[in-house]
Amino acid sequence: MSLSKLVGALKGASAYRLRLMDLPEVREKLWGDHFWSPSYCAVSGDSAALEVVKRYIEEQRAELRKKGEKRRKAASTSP
């Protein structure tokens, strides 16, 4: 199985199960309208420091928040 298919299966199954639980603390942490970021990162333990991985995740989160804000603004200004 390819890494991308494995990650997609894990994201899909976990998102489905968590959405069924309908937990408020989970809803607050969604990436815009999505449960997971559309991207993923795979690194070996020796090739990237933990801080690099943390920075990558935060940058992805910030990018999705900006996109969500743009969509909300566009929707609120539409007639």
pLDDT at 41: 77
What are the residue boundaries of the structural domains of the chain, listed by start? 3-77
pLDDT tens digits along 37-54: 778 877 776 666 778 878
The per-residue pLDDT for range 3-45, each reduced to its tens digit, is 889 999 999 999 888 888 888 887 777 766 677 877 887 777 6
Mean pLDDT of 54-72: 83
Q: Which of 36, 37, 56, 61 is catalytic?
A: 56
Tokens of 24: 């408020």
Q: How many C-beta neighbours within 10 Å does residue 13 have?
A: 10
Instruction: For residue 1, give both structure tokens.
Output: 């199985």
Indicate the pTM of the whole model: 0.47
Active site (annotated) includes residue 56? yes
* DSSP assignment of 6-63: HHHHHHHHHHHHHHHHT-HHHHTT-BTTBSS-S------TTTS-HHHHHHHHHHHHHH
Q: Are 71 and 36 in contact (CB under 8 A)?
A: no
